[in-house]
Chains A and B, each alone.
Chain A
Amino acid sequence: SAVISQKPSRDICQRGTSLTIQCQVDSQVTMMFWYRQQPGQSLTLIATANQGSEATYESGFVIDKFPISRPNLTFSTLTVSNMSPEDSSIYLCSISGGRLLSDTQYFGPGTRLTVL
């Protein structure tokens, strides 16, 4: 399977600031996704990052709060804007397709965000 890295691995941020999380894959993949995992909870899909076009957001998530970029088939960013303590979560990117099986998702190590 592909190697997925995320930066930063963790961060502590102040209320009202923004943080951009990077997801880098070592090979081209068709699909990239961003998930949120709130403390003690399961995963919630934020959006599908589309290469060359706007991301597709799930219900309850909006572009102004979670802008996403995907400039090529190996890289994506998620920004958490105007943060509040409720945004404290683990943010995970996942991938599928390309040389990988299209029905299976592989996850990055996650970014642990704490908002004070």
Chain B
Amino acid sequence: GNSVTQMEGPVTLSEEAFLTINCTYTATGYPSLFWYVQYPGEGLQLLLKATKADDKGSNKGFEATYRKETTSFHLEKGSVQVSDSAVYFCALSDSRNTGNQFYFGTGTSLTVIP
């Protein structure tokens, strides 16, 4: 079946530090992969996505590369800011096999301190 395993948090970093949040997946087909971000008190916002192997999604300085060989979609940012403090969710969608069903990871809470 489909599932997402996400690095557990919480993660605390100093401003300008390098960020990696690990995400691996299991899928029966060829999923699309997503990172969503949830800022305090808000809903989920799509951060970036990739739809096929070797695609790189990027947005707001964040990047993630769809690695089929390692079934991974790790989120990275070279220099985090205090405003990046949020909860990050990795997710997959396998629309060809399971319709619009989304599979979410457990979320990783990031706190960036000045």
Interface residues of A (CB under 8 A from B): 1, 6, 31, 33, 41-43, 45, 48, 90, 92, 94, 96-97, 102-110
Contacts and interface: CB of A to CB of B under 8 A. Distances in A.
Contacts of B44: 43, 92, 94, 107
Contacts of B43: 6, 90, 92, 107-110
Nearest to A110: B43
Interface of B: 32, 34, 36, 42-46, 49, 51, 89, 93, 95, 100-102, 104-107
A102 B42 contact: no
Contacts of A92: 43-44
A104 B49 contact: yes
Contacts of A94: 44, 102
Q: Which of B45, B49, B100 has most chain A Cβ within 10 Å?
A: B100
Contacts of B89: 42-43
Q: Which of B36, B44, B46, B95 has most chain A Cβ within 10 Å?
A: B44
9 contacts: A1-B46, A33-B102, A42-B104, A42-B105, A43-B89, A43-B104, A48-B100, A109-B42, A110-B43
Nearest to B51: A103
